[in-house]
Amino acid sequence: MIRTLPLTCSRCGKTISAQDHLYYQDDFTVQSFQDIKLICDDCIRAWKEKWQIASADFHEKNYVLTVTITLKNGTVYENMDCTPMEDTESVVTGEDIPREAQHELYKYYVAFAQKREAQQIKDCFFTNREGGKMSADITTVGGEQYDNLVFYVEDGYLKTEQDVPDYVMDGLVTAYKSYLAQEEMLSTASQPVPRMPQRKPMPESQWNTGESFGSGNATGGFGRQNRNPFGGF
């Protein structure tokens, strides 16, 4: 059966003049071809002009990456979940973003990833101090140096005697947890290994040297008077 499809923009309602292609919006709730949401060239042009990125701030917490985007027209989209795509050098979000804006957003992500890598702790050496305190000599991948950083644990929280950036504090907490786990493992390994329990052998004087097996039964049988020096069953 042949049907007709009205060429009407789903955003502005204008009639669309069919060219060599049509724009439409993905919608997984659409059950019929006639329900496809077409978009005219003018609305596409306005959509692309809107998505001119002025800045983008990425954040990662608990392995969840989000981005706050500020457009040149002042519109702000806060804390949107996003996924960087290295193969296409783009960033996909839950919001419909033009391909050009996705590529532009990826540039901001690369700068964020490089900065995050530079802030990772490369080396961390611990020293015991008096009064139950510790000190750490820290070097980041980017070359930042924090020497004799004194810290202690109070009420279950690690605290430092001098202010440090959050990323240094986060790295210090992770490194110190690993240090404590390693110390505990080494302490356990240094303890003597207990001997495996062994059965006490029966004195030779108690060995059964009789010729018969069993309890006086010359026909044999199994019992406590067999020749097993370990006491039978």
Is the distance from CB of 213 to CB of 220 less than 8 angstroms?
A: yes
Q: Which stretch of DSSP H or E encloses residue 112?
A: helix 99-118
Per-residue pLDDT of the chain (233 residues; tens, 9 = 90+): 787 788 888 889 888 887 777 888 877 776 677 778 888 989 999 999 999 999 999 999 888 999 999 999 999 999 999 999 999 999 999 899 999 999 999 999 999 999 999 999 999 999 998 888 999 999 999 999 999 999 998 888 899 999 999 999 999 999 999 999 888 888 776 666 556 555 556 566 666 665 554 444 544 444 444 444 444 43
Return the domain boundaries, the chain: 1-49, 51-118, 121-186
- Are residues 51 and 97 in contact, defined by beta-carbon separation less than 8 angstroms? yes
Strand, coil or helix: 171: helix
The answer to whether the CB of 151 falls within 8 A of the CB of 159 is yes
* CB-based burial label for 109 (10 Å; 0-12, 13-18, 19+): buried
Token readout for 103 is 């590529």
